Structure 1
Amino acid sequence: MTAKREKENGIVETIKTVVYALLIAGIFRSLFFQPFWIPSGSMKDTLLIGDFLFVNKMAYGYSRYSCPFGLCPFDGRILASDPERGDVVVFRHPVNGTDFIKRLIGLPGDSIQMKDGVLHINGEPVEITPAGDFEEEYRKQGPVGYFPQCENAPVGEGGTCTKPRSIETLPNGVSHSVLNIRDGFFSDNTPVFSVPEGHYFFMGDNRDNSQDSRYSRANGGVGFVPAENLIGRADRIMFSSGGRSLFFLWTWRADRFFKAVE
């Protein structure tokens, strides 16, 4: 075999290896776990900007949105399992096609309302327990460079940004922390939302800084989310970096590595 032929065969084998690797990665991403970076502060302090996690796509079964670009060739869901209230879920936005991550608050048939900052489910207020303040440095966060919103604003860059934190317990016993930035905001008092069959109602844990089901799609929110738009459940943070770049090693948050999402 000539050197030219050996070189050509080497190139072909390299291409085949790359193609196989891409196919395996695509199958793994479509069927099992999808990587997800937290881009905004809407789920603080459960999830922080720069948290990296894998989304469990087996949790609720599969829809066309389980495949990259929504290309799975079927409608509805197969191997479907119902999500549970309180799950932290990644779903496809019903209008703009981006992936969002929020907490599941309302199930089909529920009525949801915020009254004076307290979540009401089916007419009953959930249990709220004060849990001190959430503190963070007032600086640009993540690649986009968002400044956090603060209850004690205005805060100079480098200062301490605080938000009151409470533990919210849902009717099924799931407890999680929620943050409050300001009182009397629209997000604190809403109309009653009646969740239709086949849809879910989502909210961010950072209640005054989340475009979620409390806001209509025309106003930048997500409205009610169809069941087929669910992609998977966030179970565990694998890695976390608080800086503008992954390569800023001094901004890595080792205490969040492999932390369970609650």
Structure 2
Amino acid sequence: MNLQVILGNFALILFVLMVLTGVVWFFDVFYLAKQRRAAADRALAEYDSRAAKASADGIKLDNHGRRAQIEADILRQPTWVEYSGSFFPVIALVFFLRSFLYEPFKIPSSSMVPTLLVGDLILVNKFTYGIRLPVINQKIIQINDPQRGDVMVFKYPKDMSQDYIKRVIGVPGDKITYENKRLTVNGVAVKYTPMDDYLNDERLVYNKQFQENLSGVSHRILNDDSKPTYGRDAVEAFPGRDENCTYRYEGFTCTVPAGNYFMMGDNRDNSADSRYWGFVPDKNIVGKAFFVWMNFSSLRRIGGIQ
């Protein structure tokens, strides 16, 4: 694992910090704190002995204030222990929440426009597709499988340090055909309803917009009439391409192999997805995107993801 992968894996960084602060916290609770208590008891016993002798000699001491100060000074945690003990429960809680329940992501590109915009801060459900061990992403408990139409976050097959987000178009065993910018799944043509053109804020041009109904999941997609159905020169020699896919001038057909998924962006002509770099293995799944909780450029963006 190289440095770039480590730095790009926030879960790994959190895990290391949790372990380090946790070790210090446990070491303090079960060893250092007892050592400090024993030292404080010895110091207090010595002080009480001196105070008793002074009292016998007729000398009056401020026993309570001085005694309490001695005890507090000895029992005080070292700074490095105090900070570790303060950070450990916070780091552990964040690690648990983002590893097993919900993880936040920020949308960096326009591949999922109009469903998701650049700058959208989203929440991803980490358990709906099964419980996975953090860092290594190994599934240990099966719950649900991704369904057609789901918006899913996954590790980019060519670079596991990168998180991608696309829509599930095909599940294992599906036969996906994409011709003339229209989908057919298992021989059934996907339904499209024309909508008003969509203004592309980045390029200040209008794109064709349609309501796509994929296995009962209705969502908007965009088409750019100035671009072909797909970029033939951009298709890579991805694993399983020759056995499962046939590319033609007007489109392509792919059969999704077992344990894999076919992903596409809703901004169909501006998305690098399974058409070009191949299928997404189940082991790469991160979770299901379900909620936009903030976009600093538009507060109206808050809401569920369809």
What's the TM-score once normalised by structure 2's chain length? 0.66
Task: Give the letter aligned to residue 103 of structure 2.
Answer: Q
In the TM superposition, 1:175-214 aligns within 5 A as 175-183=218-226, 185-187=228-230, 189-214=250-275
SS at structure 2 position matched to 1:231: strand
SS at structure 2 position matched to 1:105: strand
Residue matched to 2:190: 126
1:115 aligns with 2:179: yes
SS at structure 1 position matched to 2:131: coil
Which structure 1 segments of 5+ residues have no match?
138-147, 151-159, 216-220, 242-251
Residue matched to 2:35: none
Size of the aligned set, in residue pairs, is 218
Structure 1 residue 123: deviation in Å? Answer: 2.3
The 1-side partners of 2:252 and 2:200 are apart by 32
Task: Give the letter aligned to residue 209 of structure 2.
Answer: R
Inter-CA distance 76–57: structure 2 relative to 1 (3 Å threshold): closer
Structure 1 residue 190: deviation in Å? Answer: 2.5
Task: Give the letter aligned to residue 282 of structure 2.
Answer: A
Inter-CA distance 77–111: structure 2 relative to 1 (3 Å threshold): farther
Structure 1 residue 10: deviation in Å? Answer: 5.6
The 2-side partners of 1:198 and 1:106 are apart by 11
- Structure whose alpha-carbon radius of gyration is higher: 2
2:181, 2:229 within 8 Å by CA — same for their partners in 1?
A: no
**Structure with larger RCO (C-alpha < 8 A, sep 6+):** 1
Structure 1 residue 102: deviation in Å? Answer: 0.4
Q: Percent identity?
A: 38
Residue matched to 1:249: none
Structure 1 residue 161: deviation in Å? Answer: 2.8
1:231-256 CA-partner distances (Å, limit 9, x unpaired): 11111100013xxxxxxxxxx31111
Q: CA RMSD in A?
A: 2.0
Structure 1 residue 165: deviation in Å? Answer: 0.7
In the TM superposition, 1:156-171 aligns within 5 A as 160-170=204-214
Residue matched to 1:71: 136
> 4+ residue runs of structure 1 moved beyond 6 angstroms?
none
The 1-side partners of 2:91 and 2:251 are apart by 46
1:254 aligns with 2:299: yes
Structure 1 residue 180: deviation in Å? Answer: 0.9
Structure 1 residue 71: deviation in Å? Answer: 2.7
Inter-CA distance 179–77: structure 2 relative to 1 (3 Å threshold): farther
The 2-side partners of 1:93 and 1:34 are apart by 17
Structure 1 residue 22: deviation in Å? Answer: 0.9
The 2-side partners of 1:76 and 1:22 are apart by 23
- Deviation larger for 119-128 or 197-206: 119-128
What's the TM-score once normalised by structure 1's chain length? 0.77
1:62, 1:79 within 8 Å by CA — same for their partners in 2?
A: yes
Residue matched to 1:102: 166
2:130, 2:139 within 8 Å by CA — same for their partners in 1?
A: no
1:12 aligns with 2:81: yes
1:234 aligns with 2:289: yes
SS at structure 2 position matched to 1:104: strand
The 2-side partners of 1:255 and 1:224 are apart by 34
Residue matched to 2:242: none
Task: Give the letter aligned to residue 97 of structure 2.
Answer: F
Which structure 2 segments of 5+ residues have no match?
1-68, 232-249
Paired residue for 1:174, among 217, 229, 234?
217
1:57 aligns with 2:126: yes
Paired residue for 2:96, among 27, 42, 53?
27
The 2-side partners of 1:61 and 1:254 are apart by 32
